[in-house]
Amino acid sequence: MQTVFNKPGQFWRGNLHTHSTRSDGHCSPEEVCRTYREAGYDFLALTDHFIERYNWPVTDTQAFRSDTFTTLISAELHTSQHRMELGHIWHILAVGLPLDFAPTQPEETGPELATRALATGAFVAAVHPQWFMMTEADLLSLGPIHAVEIYNASSEDDSDTAESLYMLDYMLARGKRLWAFATDDAHFVPNSRERLRAWVMVKSEALQPDALVSALKAGDFYSSTGPRIVDLQLEPGDHLYLRCSYADRVYALGRPTEYRSVAEQGLTEAKIDLKGWRSPYLRVLVRDHLGGKAWSNPIWLE
């Protein structure tokens, strides 16, 4: 079975969720792009809050592109009045938007906003569901979005709700096919730990915005807060083969109570026996001795 590691191209490191002074961030768009470029990132999606309070910004970052660094035109979309089940306005990430994306209308719902973003060809995702207590019904109502944010570094500082894997696992167990991604959601708040903490590694043949957005929509990426996944293959004979940076445990995770793991300090490769595996999907987690994690996208076996 083909995985992203069999596909042509190379992995590019990027962050999909960040804010600037165009909304509630503390640094200018130029400063934000420079920070990620100088840290060795290949691309950045600057996702300012698309809401009336900030005059509906879709921040134009094209001037900060170079031969070795690119940007994806993006925004974090919000409803004006319509709210999620437990009372908060919607937060919907759209990566690869047109600069003239129309402002939200007062009566527009979260699902309608997601549908409108999808129609532009953007990569559309639900963000920090744990932070704002998004319910299962909320996420299901968004229809054919692409992904859910499973780690958000900013919310770790704000409310200790960085991980939202519970929502991904609910959706997968119900048969909904969603990708999983990790971000900083950096606002560049002084004395915070939110920047350069989590990223995606996207496999693409070119460091070009359209190619990166297409790869995101296809799930051709993995996410990390430290470890690297070097190779991931499903081998004949019901085995999962993994190569990674130094780790102390790797997991194959499926539907409830379906899991396998290998533990060894300093391991860099593992073969996991999947004989008798009953879940229609699996996802891989790599954990290192510092607590850093890398998450594969779900692999559907049927």
**pLDDT at residue 302 above 90?**
no
**Per-residue model confidence (pLDDT) at position 191:** 83
**pLDDT at residue 25 above 90?**
yes
First to last CA, the chain: 10
**Per-residue model confidence (pLDDT) at position 253:** 97
**pLDDT at residue 237 above 80?**
no
Among candidate residues 163, 149, 155, 140, the one with its CA nearest the CA of residue 85? 140
**pLDDT at residue 87 above 90?**
yes
Give the mean model confidence (pLDDT) for residues 107-112. Answer: 97
**pLDDT at residue 236 above 80?**
no
Distance, CA of 180 to CA of 168 (rounded, Å): 7
Give 282-292 pLDDT, tens digit per residue: 999 999 999 99
pTM: 0.97
Give 132-150 pLDDT, tens digit per residue: 999 999 999 999 999 999 9
**pLDDT at residue 2 above 90?**
no
Give the mean model confidence (pLDDT) for residues 190-219. Answer: 95
Which residues are CB-neighbours of 172 under 8 A, at least 6 positions away? 178, 255, 281, 283, 298
In the chain the domains, ranked by start, together with CATH numbers, are: 9-223 (3.20.20.140), 229-300 (2.60.40)
Among candidate residues 69, 62, 56, 61, the one with its CA nearest the CA of residue 18? 61
Q: Is residue 120 within 8 Å of 97, Cβ to Cβ? A: yes
